Structure 1
């Protein structure tokens, strides 16, 4: 799928995608072309006069919060996400196609048009209070990072954690943001009671690569400091070295060593996933940033995906298949075994859960 518009690089500085790629439900697709009258050059020049793309926040009242899954390759069975879209702008994000359901582009719209679920706490309280509800670890931020920059003002994630603390419900969250440190006053006491854990994604230690790959996420050294802060506060903290991208993220062992030194004691990885519109967006990104090795990178991805951009089979979608996938797996296993990762699992306590009363109503006992 070709680019939707020739936006100049300086306009998209700090963004992962280069275009507002048309989503798969679009009836029309518009592409810029040179009609021989110089209009293409004029449109690019006019775009060059524009201000850099700004972030827009929209609000949504949701009817449900918890999503359940029975996928055999996912360790949790329920999750919640306070936001849709993600300002971090990671080009590889598998959640980008979800913006298609909102009639928005999985490209720049995913990074610049964020949806905040403003009634998330009220709906979650009602769901946790159902007589049929049975507690199990809730994974927070599995689709888009729960610590968006707008969390500073909206505090939706913090409100969710406050409710989970009130009802003593276990949770784990995954983030690239140092903003999780702001909620340590809630997370640390819950962690002490086996009710909370945090995973920090560190894709690479290469700051220059991270700025291209994850343009608005915290810098790698800052994420390591977050791991250290969490660990020193007694929070079980793990590191996600995901996704692994052949010939792009090449320092897995160094990331694991740095994370271990900072205090992480569990680790996991996935290989890059390119479902739906993520594939053309990623290829666009490769052509922009790594044109000389783009074909080689895609060839290795195809090797891990049975010759395709992506294969959604439960058995292989997270780790891939074939020789290259096996090599990544061996590297991960050797590094984690040598360092000592994943030797002890701390189970979450689901026995302490106390169903909430109605919104705004405390428990009598």
Structure 2
């Protein structure tokens, strides 16, 4: 793998904002030399700053029929994610907006301030039937802008009022800001929280996930959730061969020591534009290791799609195969046995669901 000569961009995961080839965005970006025109007026950008655009969709619940995931509906309060995780499989969604899955994904964000109102309207429909709502499936519900917008908290308030089950996946200890609501939901078996821990090295985490919480803070958050009686899961993900897999056993051990009873792992996925962005990241930060990493990544998909960077097929995309995949699987299982930890399916209660009260009104009972 060739060493990248361009200066690296500190504080961000992606190292470029090149336009994707899908949807004709690359051609539109070139027409009129608009990029050069902008720089001729404003000069080159001095610092990458985060911008947030408010959007007002007509619906907030997204339904799916995928056989690979355990939920059929989700809420994403934000588009894009300032955490900047270079491996994030959601990056290609920014291309739908004619934006780069690279730097735009982590600097040009979208917020949905009407999420709670839209959820109330959906839950009030006569034909609505409750099943757990997943949050954090695409972008992190507790990324930094949540502290300002509080959209995730508003959604949890609706779930508590309607006794609707919800799950959360995050890389941030900011989840503890809502511990009061989460604890109340947990008492009624209405919530489970998964915290992703990728490594135990804060420096490596700063390169992989530049604006996510440090590993120690995520583990501390897991401990606080357990103490509060919240069903908590430690997700050791993604496992990046020759980069993060060496932390697997220690993460499981530390999570178990905090009282966490459930843990799982997810292999690295590199769909669409994520693959070239990840290769570029390797060339900047680990040029001597890049070829080995990508060789192993391709090998765990080799049995099913000829060793491409990613396997997009249902039933197999989340299940790596081959010698390396078997090794990771065996190592993780052994670590869990030694730590006395397993992978639990948290059964949330859908039987207490009730139509939410209109916004601003209190229940009589």
Q: TM-score, normalised by structure 1?
A: 0.90
Change (3 A) 1:6 1:109: farther
Structure 2 distance, partners of 1:168, 1:149, is 27
Map of 1:29-40 to 2, 5 A cutoff? none
| Deviation of the 1:337 alpha carbon | 2.3
- Which portions of structure 1, spanning 4 or more consecutive aligned residues, are displaced by more than 6 angstroms? none
**In structure 1, what is the equivalent of residue 36 of structure 2?**
none
Q: Deviations over 1:219-264 (max 9, x none)?
A: 0011111111111111111101010111011210111111111222
**In structure 2, what is the equivalent of residue 35 of structure 1?**
none
**In structure 2, what is the equivalent of residue 259 of structure 1?**
255
**In structure 2, what is the equivalent of residue 225 of structure 1?**
220
Q: Deviations over 1:173-217 (max 9, x none)?
A: 011111110101100011011111111000110111111101110
State yes or no: 1:189 paired with 2:184.
yes
**In structure 2, what is the equivalent of residue 321 of structure 1?**
321
| Deviation of the 1:325 alpha carbon | 1.0
Aligned-residue CA RMSD (Å): 2.1
Unaligned regions of 5+ residues in structure 2, if any?
31-39
Cα contact 1:356–1:363 (8 A) shared by 2:
no
Structure 1 distance, partners of 2:85, 2:147, is 20
**In structure 1, what is the equivalent of residue 300 of structure 2?**
304
Structure 2 distance, partners of 1:354, 1:87, is 35
Cα contact 2:161–2:357 (8 A) shared by 1:
no
| Deviation of the 1:28 alpha carbon | 2.2
Structure 1 distance, partners of 2:6, 2:289, is 23
**In structure 2, what is the equivalent of residue 347 of structure 1?**
347
Structure 2 distance, partners of 1:132, 1:235, is 30
Return the match for 2:241 from 230, 242, 246: 246
**In structure 2, what is the equivalent of residue 36 of structure 1?**
none
**In structure 1, what is the equivalent of residue 338 of structure 2?**
338
Structure 2 distance, partners of 1:290, 1:354, is 53
State yes or no: 1:87 paired with 2:86.
no
SS in 2 for 1:337: helix
Structure 2 distance, partners of 1:343, 1:210, is 24
Cα contact 2:17–2:102 (8 A) shared by 1:
yes
**In structure 2, what is the equivalent of residue 144 of structure 1?**
139
Unaligned regions of 5+ residues in structure 1, if any?
32-42
Change (3 A) 1:171 1:30: closer
State yes or no: 1:8 paired with 2:7.
yes
Structure 2 distance, partners of 1:19, 1:7, is 10
| Deviation of the 1:295 alpha carbon | 0.8
Map of 1:61-80 to 2, 5 A cutoff? 61-80=56-75
Change (3 A) 1:273 1:346: closer
| Deviation of the 1:338 alpha carbon | 2.3
Change (3 A) 1:304 1:29: farther
Return the match for 1:106 from 96, 101, 110: 101
**In structure 2, what is the equivalent of residue 37 of structure 1?**
none
Cα contact 1:13–1:52 (8 A) shared by 2:
no
Cα contact 2:167–2:191 (8 A) shared by 1:
yes
Map of 1:117-128 to 2, 5 A cutoff? 117-128=112-123
Structure 1 distance, partners of 2:135, 2:249, is 27
State yes or no: 1:134 paired with 2:129.
yes
